[in-house]
Structure 1
Amino acid sequence: MFYSEEIVDEVREKNDIVDVISPYVRLTRRGSNYVGLCPFHNEKTPSFSVNTGRQTFHCFGCGVGGNAYSFVMKYENLTFPEAIKHLADRAGIKLPEEEDNPEARKRADLRTRLFEIYKEAAKFYYFQLRGEYGSHPMEYLKNRGLTDKTINDFGLGYSVKSPNALYNYLKSKGYSDELMIKAELVSFKEGRGIFDMFWNRVIFPIMDLNNKVIAFGGRVMGDGEPKYLNSRETDIFNKRRNLYGLNFAKHSREGYILLCEGYMDVIALHQAGFSNAVASLGTALTEEQARLIARYVKDVIITYDSDGAGVKAAIRAIPILKSAGIRTKILKLTPYKDPDELIKAVGRGEYEERIKNAENSFNFELSNLEKSYDLTEPEGKTEFLNKVADRLTGFEEELERENYIAAVADRYFVSKDALKSLVNKIGGAKEIREIYKDAGERIKKADRAKTADEGLLKTNRLLLSLISDKPELYSRIKNIISARDFATPLYKDLAARIFSQIEEGKKPNAAEIISRYESGEDQSLVTAVFEENFEAEPDEAERDKAFKEIVVKVKRAGLEEELKSIDNKDLKSFMEITKKQRELGKLDF
C-alpha cells in the first residue's frame, strides 16, 4: 500500500520511539537519551542509543539506525507499508485505503502466498497421518503418550515415504515450482530434480503468534539422519525470532514461561496442563527469542534435559535471559532425562512440586562451577572464588550485587569484605579493559577517517548535523553552499531536504526526514548524520573558526567535483569554477 506523507507522519508522531523499542530492548536512561544492547549484533557493552528528542535510534557498534519505522522494519522483517500498519494498529489509528505500491504489493503478495501454501502443506501432512500410510507414525505418537486431542490440538502430521508426495499434491492445487522452492517446501538439484524437504517424518507445524503455520519440524521414522529436521528460513519464518508453542503459551495466566529444549517436551507439558511451555527451534536460545519472551513475562523456569548438553545449554541461556530483563530459575529433572520422561514416571504433581523448588540461576551456576575445583584445597578454593567473583561483577545493581556477595560469603565460609574487595578489583580491571577496547575502536575509526573519502564524508556529516541542530547557521551559508556541493547522492538529497525545511521556517525533523528513505541502509546513514558530534574548541571564536573551515572544505570539494564534470571545451564554466576556488579563502560569512 502507498500512504501519504501526512499519514506517515501522523503514525510516526503517535508512536514514541522509546515505547516502540522498549519491548524489544532493555533500555536504561542516560541523560536525556536511552542506551541498551543492540538487538542487531552481539555485544556486551551497550552501544545502542535512542535519542528521545530526535525520535531516532543509532548503534555506534554496527552503524544501524533510523526512526520507529526503521526499527520495526528491521526487527520484524517488515516492508515499509507493513511497518506503517504495525505502528498504526499500535497507536489505534485507522489507515485509509490507498493505491498500491508495486514493490510493496509484490512482497506482501509473496508473504500472503507463503502463508497459504504452508496452510495447504499442513493440511496435507495432517490427513496423511490419519490416512492409510499413517498407522506407524500414529503408533509412535501414541506410544509417546499423546492423546488424540493433543495430536489434533498441535496439528501433528506425517510426510509419507515418497520424496515427491507433497510436491505432487501442491502441484495439483495449482502452486508453481517457483513458489514451492521459495517456500523451502521442496528443493531442486541437478540430476535429481525436485523433491520434498520432508519425507518419512512425523511433522510438527510451527505457528506464529497469530496461529498461522510458518514452518515445520520433522522427526524421522526409523534410523534416518538427521533425527530432527527444521524448515529453512523464508520471508515469513526466522527461527531466531520464533518459539515453538508461544502461540498457546502467550495466553497462559501463570506469569512465567517453562523453557524446554524440544517439541515433544512442549507437547507433553501442555498435555499435562502446563500451557506455558515453549521451546527454541533447533538452535540454542537466542537474544531475539529472549526479548520475545520478555514481552509476555519477566520470569522463566528453564527445564532443559538433565544431561551434560542440557546443563551447558541452560548455563548459556541464563545471561541471555538476564540481558532481556528476565529472572531465571532452573528446574531439577534428575534422575529423569527430560520433562516428558519425568511426567510419565512420577506424574504432573511431582513436576509441579519441582517448579516450586526450582533453583535460583546463580546458585545453579555455582553448583556446576564447584565441580571443576577441589574446594578442600586452598589453591582450588581460591581459583573457584576468583571465578565466582568474576560472575558477581555481572550484577549491575549495587544492592543486588551486595546481597549475592553476602550469600556467597556465607555459603563458602569466606570474609564478606574480602570477597567484596575481590569483586571490585576484578570489576575495575574489566572496566579498564573496556575503556582500552573502546579507545582502540576509536583509534581504528580515526585511522579510517584519515583517508580522503572518509574524511570528506565526515566533513559532510558535520556540516549537515550542525545546520540541523542550529538552523540559524543556514542563513550565513545559503549563498555559499548548495545541496549539489555534498559528496554523495544520498548526502545531496539529505541536504536538499534539510535546507528545504529550514527555508519553510521549520527546524529539521530527523525522524520525519528518515521516513522519506525506503532503504534500511540509507536510513542508517542518514541517522549517522544526525548523530554526528561536533567536537570544537570551547572558545566561541574558535568554534566559529572551525565552522567556517568545515564550510570551506565542503565547498572546495563540491567545486572540484563540478570541475571534473564539465566538458573540456567549456572554457567559460572552467574559468568561473576556478575563480570561485581562488576566492574560497577570502569568503566572509
Structure 2
Amino acid sequence: IVEVIDARVPLKKAGREYTACCPFHNEKTPSFTVSPAKQFYHCFGCGAHGTAIGFLMEYEHMDFVEAVEELARSLGLEVPREGGTPSAPRHKEGSSLYDIQAEAARFYQRQLREHPQAGRAVDYLRERGLSGEIARDFGLGYAPPGWDNLLQALGTTPERRRLLLESGLAIEKDGGGLYDRFRDRIVFPILDRRGRVIGFGGRVLGDDKPKYLNSPETPVFHKGRELYGLYQARKAPGKLSRLLVVEGYMDVVALAQFGIRNAVATLGTATTREHLEQIFRMVPEVVFCFDGDRAGRAAAWRAVENALPVMRDGREARFLFLPEGEDPDSLVRKLGREGFEAEIAKSVPFSEFFLEHLEARVDISSMDGRARLVELARPLLARLPGGVLRELMTERLARTVGVAAERLDGLLGGGARLRAAPAAAPARPAGRERPSPVREAIRLLLHDPALVEGIEADAELAPPETPGGDILAELVELLRRQPHLRSTAAVMEHFRGHPAERHLWRLAREEPLSPPEGRAEELAGCLQLLRRAGPERRWRELQDKLRREGRLPEAEQEEWQRLLEMRRQAARSQGSGGR
C-alpha cells in the first residue's frame, strides 16, 4: 500500500508508519497515515480509511474491478475471470479489440506529424487555438484522405482485418472487401476509465457529411455508457469535485486548453442514467451546458428526466444555458477561463429549472393552471428518491400553488416528508473503556490474523445469543478457510459491503489492549470469558426465577446446582471466592 499511495501522494516515514497531508480534504498539518504492517490508510482529520484497493477507488475514482485490475497490471499480473455475460466481451476478444484500436490511435497520431497533407489538420487545430501539449494530452490524430490507409498499415493478416471490421475502424463494402471508416478527418480517440482506446470520433476537414462521425457500437464501446474526456478529467491535477457536460469533442478540448480540465462530452446521445450514475460516483456535482435556444432547453429537460431517479441527497445538478450563437469552444475563447467559470457560477439549479419548465406550461395565475401544475409535477416528483431535495421541491411547489406542504405531499402520494431525527445517543465518557470480550477477540484477530491458529477447531467461540458472536464466528471461519490472509487490509477486503464493515473498520483502527507478545494469551482469555458467559447467563436466569417463585422444578433445581458448582470452581481457579 505504501508503493501505491506514495506514487500518487508523497509519503514521509514517521516511525513504523508513513504520513502525508490528506488527499481527501484540505489540511496544512499531516493527519493522513499509512500502515505497512496493517496495509491500510487512515486520516485522523476527515476519517477517510481503506486498503490499497479502496485508495484507488477513492483517489482515482475507479470502481472495485478497475482498482483490482490496476493493481494487477502494476505487478504484471492478469486477473482471472469467470464466464462473462453476453453483453461483456470475452477477455481475449476484448483485449484484441483494445490492442488494435491502440495501434490505430498511434497510426493516426503519426499521420498528424508526418503525412504530406497533415498541414490542413494542423492549421485547423491552430485556428481553434489548440497547443501541441493539448493535442498530445488528448491523443489527437489525423486520418488522411484515401480509402485504405489504415487497412494497408494495420490489416496485414485476415485476423487483423477482422478486428478492424469488428472495432468499426473498417466498413464492409457491398460487393465484398473493406474500406477505412475515417478519412480526411481530425481523429479524437475515445478512452475508457482505465485509459484504453475503445473508439474514435472524427471531425471532417472538407465538406463531407456528417460533420462529426463516431465509431459504431462494439463489444467494448457503448455510447450510452461512455463519456469523452472523462479519463483526462480524472487524471488532471487537483481535486475533481464537479464535471461539466458539453456537446462535442472540440468543446472538451478547447476548455482544457484554457485550463478547464473537468469537461466531458456525450457521444452523440442524450445524457443517460448510466452516464449520470457514473458521474455521481466520481463527483457530487454536474453542470450541463446547453444552447439557450428552444432545442437546447428541450435537451436540458431530457437531462432532467433522466437525472430524477439518481438525484439522491448530496448530489447536485445545474444547467448553464449559453448565449445565442455560442458554444463552449467559442465562449471560452471570448471570455477566457475566469469569465467562463463566472458563467458556470450563474448556472441554474436543478430544482429551479425543473419548476420553471413546468410553470411555463400552465397559467399559474388561475386555480385550474395551478391544479394542472400539480398534476404535471406528480409523476416526476415520484421518481425522485425520498430525502431533503424531494421535500424542499415539494415545499417550493406548495408555495407556488398555495397549498400546505403536508397536504400537497399527501396529494402527491407521500414520501417527501422526513421523519423526525432520532435523539442523539449520549456521549461516551472520555478515555478508553474496557471492551467486551467478543469485541476484543475480533480486534485481536483483525490485527494479527495468525492468532486463529491457536483456536481449537471444535472450540465453542461464544453462546449463540452473544452480541457480535456471529461476526466473530464468521471471521474465524474466514481465517481458517483462507490461511494466506495475514494483514488487516486483506481481511477487511473480505468484509467490503458487509453490514458490519463500518464497525470492523473502527476495531481495525484501534490498537488491541495487549502488546504483540501478549496477544495470544489475551485472545485465549477473551474466548474463555465468552465460553463462561453462556452458563453464567443461564444460572442468573434460574436464580431470578428461584427468587420470584421460591422454588424450582426438580430438573431446573439440578441444573441450577450444577451451574452453581461450576461458578465456584471458576472462582477458585481465579483465586477469588464465589458468591
Matched ranges for 1:562-581 at <5 A: none
Letter in 2 for 1:205: P
Contact 1:161–1:200 under 8 Å retained in 2:
yes
Larger radius of gyration: 2
**Structure 2 residue matching 1:163: 3-state secondary structure:** coil
- Give deviations 1:506-559, integer Å, cap 9, x for gaps: 9xxxxxxxxxxxxxxxxxxxxxxxxxxxxxxxxxxxxxxxxxxxxxxxxxxxxx
Displacement after TM superposition at 1:100 (Å): 11
1:157 aligns with 2:141: yes
Aligned mates of 1:89, 1:271 — CA distance in 2: 29
The 1:192–1:88 alpha-carbon spacing in structure 2 relative to 1, beyond 3 Å, is closer
1:205 aligns with 2:189: yes
Contact 2:228–2:266 under 8 Å retained in 1:
yes
1:373 aligns with 2:365: no
**Residue 343 of structure 1 aligns with which residue?**
332
Letter in 2 for 1:127: R
Contact 1:331–1:357 under 8 Å retained in 2:
yes
- Give deviations 1:416-473, integer Å, cap 9, x for gaps: 41x65345224379xxxxxxxxxxxxxxxxxxxxxxxxxxxxxxxxxxxxxxxxxxxx
**Residue 523 of structure 2 aligns with which residue?**
none
Matched ranges for 1:306-345 at <5 A: 306-324=292-310, 325=312, 326-335=315-324, 337-345=326-334
Aligned mates of 2:367, 2:223 — CA distance in 1: 46
Letter in 1 for 2:342: E
1:299 to 278, 285, 289: 285
The 1:379–1:216 alpha-carbon spacing in structure 2 relative to 1, beyond 3 Å, is same
**Residue 247 of structure 1 aligns with which residue?**
231
Displacement after TM superposition at 1:299 (Å): 1.3
Relative to the length of structure 1, the TM-score reads 0.52
Aligned mates of 2:141, 2:413 — CA distance in 1: 53
**Residue 118 of structure 1 aligns with which residue?**
101
**Residue 11 of structure 2 aligns with which residue?**
none
**Residue 178 of structure 1 aligns with which residue?**
162
Aligned mates of 1:235, 1:346 — CA distance in 2: 41
- Give deviations 1:244-283, integer Å, cap 9, x for gaps: 1111112451411111121111111111111111111221
**Structure 1 residue matching 2:146: 3-state secondary structure:** coil
Aligned mates of 1:397, 1:100 — CA distance in 2: 38
Contact 2:394–2:408 under 8 Å retained in 1:
no
**Residue 219 of structure 2 aligns with which residue?**
235
Aligned mates of 1:311, 1:237 — CA distance in 2: 28
- Give deviations 1:306-356, integer Å, cap 9, x for gaps: 333332222222343343344211123224532112112222212111222
The 1:188–1:381 alpha-carbon spacing in structure 2 relative to 1, beyond 3 Å, is same
**Residue 518 of structure 1 aligns with which residue?**
none
Aligned mates of 1:391, 1:134 — CA distance in 2: 51
Aligned mates of 1:399, 1:280 — CA distance in 2: 29
**Structure 1 residue matching 2:410: 3-state secondary structure:** helix
Aligned mates of 2:407, 2:78 — CA distance in 1: 65
Contact 1:389–1:422 under 8 Å retained in 2:
no
Aligned mates of 1:98, 1:321 — CA distance in 2: 34
1:424 to 410, 414, 417: 410
Displacement after TM superposition at 1:363 (Å): 0.8
**Structure 2 residue matching 1:225: 3-state secondary structure:** coil
1:274 aligns with 2:260: yes
1:148 aligns with 2:137: no
- Give deviations 1:65-109, integer Å, cap 9, x for gaps: xxxxxxxxxxxxxxxxx97x97687999x99999999999x9433
The 1:235–1:398 alpha-carbon spacing in structure 2 relative to 1, beyond 3 Å, is closer
The 1:284–1:395 alpha-carbon spacing in structure 2 relative to 1, beyond 3 Å, is closer
**Residue 394 of structure 2 aligns with which residue?**
405
Aligned mates of 1:299, 1:126 — CA distance in 2: 34
Letter in 2 for 1:371: A
2:402 to 390, 415, 424: 415
Letter in 1 for 2:167: A
**Residue 127 of structure 1 aligns with which residue?**
110
Aligned mates of 1:273, 1:124 — CA distance in 2: 28
**Structure 2 residue matching 1:240: 3-state secondary structure:** coil
- Give deviations 1:541-589, integer Å, cap 9, x for gaps: xxxxxxxxxxxxxxxxxxxxxxxxxxxxxxxxxxxxxxxxxxxxxxxxx
Displacement after TM superposition at 1:185 (Å): 1.3
The 1:183–1:368 alpha-carbon spacing in structure 2 relative to 1, beyond 3 Å, is same
Aligned mates of 1:235, 1:399 — CA distance in 2: 40
The 1:423–1:103 alpha-carbon spacing in structure 2 relative to 1, beyond 3 Å, is closer
1:285 aligns with 2:290: no
Aligned mates of 2:316, 2:84 — CA distance in 1: 43
How many residues in Structure 1 have an aligned counterpart in Structure 2? 346
The 1:91–1:346 alpha-carbon spacing in structure 2 relative to 1, beyond 3 Å, is closer
Aligned mates of 2:355, 2:216 — CA distance in 1: 37
Contact 2:72–2:79 under 8 Å retained in 1:
no
Letter in 2 for 1:415: G
Displacement after TM superposition at 1:405 (Å): 3.2
Of 167-176 and 188-197, the range deviating more from structure 2: 167-176
**Residue 576 of structure 1 aligns with which residue?**
none
**Structure 1 residue matching 2:290: 3-state secondary structure:** coil
**Residue 206 of structure 2 aligns with which residue?**
222
Aligned mates of 1:313, 1:255 — CA distance in 2: 24
The 1:97–1:115 alpha-carbon spacing in structure 2 relative to 1, beyond 3 Å, is closer
The 1:86–1:361 alpha-carbon spacing in structure 2 relative to 1, beyond 3 Å, is closer
Letter in 2 for 1:405: T
Aligned mates of 2:93, 2:329 — CA distance in 1: 38
- Give deviations 1:185-214, integer Å, cap 9, x for gaps: 112223252101111221111012222211
The 1:390–1:146 alpha-carbon spacing in structure 2 relative to 1, beyond 3 Å, is same
1:357 aligns with 2:341: no
Contact 1:257–1:301 under 8 Å retained in 2:
yes
Displacement after TM superposition at 1:392 (Å): 3.9
The 1:129–1:307 alpha-carbon spacing in structure 2 relative to 1, beyond 3 Å, is farther
Relative contact order: is structure 1 or structure 2 higher (C-alpha 8 Å, sep ≥ 6)?
Answer: 1
The 1:186–1:315 alpha-carbon spacing in structure 2 relative to 1, beyond 3 Å, is same
RMSD, aligned α-carbons: 3.8
5+ residue gaps, structure 2: 1-63, 416-476, 478-579
Structure with the higher helix share, 1 or 2: 1
**Structure 2 residue matching 1:176: 3-state secondary structure:** helix
1:262 aligns with 2:265: no
Aligned mates of 1:117, 1:89 — CA distance in 2: 21
Displacement after TM superposition at 1:395 (Å): 4.1
Contact 1:261–1:305 under 8 Å retained in 2:
no
Contact 1:306–1:334 under 8 Å retained in 2:
yes
Displacement after TM superposition at 1:371 (Å): 3.2
Aligned mates of 1:274, 1:121 — CA distance in 2: 28
Contact 1:389–1:423 under 8 Å retained in 2:
no
Letter in 1 for 2:171: S
